Amino acid sequence: MSQAQNKRQAQAECIIAQFAPLTDNPHDTRHEAIRQHQRNTYQRALAAAKQRGLNITAAHKAALQCLKNNLAAYTSSQQQAPFLENPKKPFSEIPEIAA
C-alpha cells in the first residue's frame, strides 16, 4: 500500500478501536441518546472506511488485539499488587510495601 493508503488504514483502525468496545456494552449506564449517537458514529465510520476501500477486517483485528493487550496489562498489574489479594491485611504486613 502507498503511504496515503497506510495513513487512511491507520485512521480507520483508530476510529474502530475507539468506538467498537463501546457500541454493545450491556453495562453501559449512559443515557440512551448518547449510546445511540455512539452507535451511529461507529456505523458511519465503518461505512466511510468501506467506501474508501479500507480493510475493515484488519481494522477490527487491530482493535481486538489492542483490547486484549489492555486487558492483559490490567490483569497482570492486578496480580502484581499484593494488597489486592487480601484487602483486609494492613499495608505494614506486606513485605513489598513495608520495605
Q: How far apart are CA 86 and CA 90, in angstroms?
A: 9
C-alpha grid cell, residue 50? 468501506
Determine what percent of the chain falls in helix, strand and coil, rounding each to the nearest 5: 75, 0, 25
pLDDT tens digits, 4-13: 777 777 776 6
pLDDT tens digits, 20-72: 555 455 565 666 776 677 677 767 777 777 777 777 777 667 666 766 666 66
CB atoms inside a 10 Å sphere around CB 42: 18
Contact partners, residue 91, CB within 8 Å, separation at least 6: 83, 97, 98
